[in-house]
Structure 1
Amino acid sequence: MPRRSYDHYCAVSRALDLVGDRWTLLVIRELCAGPRRYSDLFADLPGISTDMLATRLKDLEREGMLTHHRNGMRSSYELTDAGLALRPVLDALSVWGAPRLGDRKPTDAVRAHWLALPLGHAVAGIVPAGTVTVHIGETVLHYVITADGVTHHDGPASAPDRELRLELAEATEIATGVRSLTV
């Protein structure tokens, strides 16, 4: 099936031609923290079909936004520099969307690492530079805060400047701006 296009000579239109399809930015969100296996992506994108995930991964690879590493029976997907360049877009969407989350509906899926983008702003507010490991329930991720911005990565930092432990409800309140992060 040929890819649909807006056929507008417009930078926003061209960008949306590449990443505006359903699920595409969420696949990129999952890969912002580092390489992931197909099964991990599928598990952390509830509601996506295997066909849709495979299609999105192939599209992103074809467009040079991710690479597929094959190592025998194990393979993983990782963002290229072009894919990582979308992080500020995701960050802006998370800042805009966090206050609009509202109350969680019983049908809403949730993963603690989905709070990583908006939570990063709160973490950077208490540690202007360095690394911070954050435990949200069973999920562990870390932030690297530099003058260039904030990035998050799977797992703990090897030598964090600070370590935080939050429950999912606390992390949600901090990410949505309902409460401040204090240490």
Structure 2
Amino acid sequence: MPRRSYDHYCAVSRALDIVGDRWNLLVVRELCSGPRRYSDLFADLPGISTDVLAARLKELERDDILTRRKVGPRTATAVYELTPTGMALRPALEALSAWGTEHLGERRPTDAVRAHWFALPLGRAVAEVLPIGTATVHIGDTVLHYNITAAGITHHDGPAPASDLEFHLDLATAAEVATGARPLPDHSPSAL
């Protein structure tokens, strides 16, 4: 399928030519914390069809936003991960997350939710408590860790090898912290 273009000689327009299609930035959001299999992406993007997901992955790979890599003993499984070009979109996602948090409102009965979708706003909340360092955050069964440096915040799947702080949240508390309705609850120095 040929790429649609706004045909504007404008940096925002060019960026949207590449990542502005429906689902593209959500695929990037899913890959910010690390590589994912197709089945993981499909499970964590409720509402996307398999055809649309496959098309978006091919387009994003073509545009050097992500790469597909075979893994496993017989390389039968593929994972998708962001390239450096794709990781460079993180500040844009951070800005969209900060802006969108103010417009999130109450969760509607039809809204899907995944714990890791709170990773970006929770990272900002963790950085208020820990301006530099590493923190592990448990949200139910989901575990993320944050590396906070002078250069910014990154999040990754799983616990940190060594954390300065550790937080345990349920989904409701994570949502409240992410939306700014409450601060992070008390934390403990990590036992790692």
Indicate the TM-score class for this superposition, using the shorter chain for normalisation: over 0.9
Distance 2:185 2:40 in 1: 32
Give the residue type in structure 2 aligned to 1:48: I
Say which of 114, 134, 145 aligns to 1:111.
114
Residue of structure 2 in register with 1:33 after alignment:
33
TM alignment of 1:76-115, pairs within 5 A: 76-115=79-118
Residue of structure 2 in register with 1:46 after alignment:
46
Secondary structure of 1:105's partner? Answer: coil
Identity of aligned residues (%): 70
TM-score normalized with structure 1 length = 0.98
1:70-112 per-position Cα deviation (integer Å, ceiling 9, x unaligned): 1321110010000000000000000001121111111100000
Aligned Cα root-mean-square deviation (Å): 0.8
5+ residue gaps, structure 1: none
Residue of structure 2 in register with 1:178 after alignment:
181
Secondary structure of 1:100's partner? Answer: coil
TM-score normalized with structure 2 length = 0.93
1:130 deviation in Å?
1.1
Distance 1:11 1:124 in 2: 30
Distance 2:185 2:70 in 1: 43
TM alignment of 1:53-72, pairs within 5 A: 53-71=53-71, 72=75
Distance 2:10 2:162 in 1: 45
Distance 1:47 1:106 in 2: 15
Secondary structure of 2:125's partner? Answer: helix
1:3 deviation in Å?
1.2
Residue of structure 2 in register with 1:153 after alignment:
156
TM alignment of 1:120-135, pairs within 5 A: 120-135=123-138
Give the residue type in structure 2 aligned to 1:111: R
Distance 1:96 1:52 in 2: 27
5+ residue gaps, structure 2: 187-192
2:12 matched to 1:9? Answer: no
Give the residue type in structure 2 aligned to 1:35: P
Which is worse superposed, 173-182 or 14-23?
173-182
Distance 1:166 1:66 in 2: 31
Residue of structure 1 in register with 2:22 after alignment:
22
| Count of paired positions | 183
Secondary structure of 2:91's partner? Answer: helix
Distance 2:102 2:123 in 1: 15
Give the residue type in structure 2 aligned to 1:140: V
Give the residue type in structure 2 aligned to 1:22: R
Give the residue type in structure 1 aligned to 2:42: F
Secondary structure of 2:138's partner? Answer: strand
Residue of structure 2 in register with 1:142 after alignment:
145
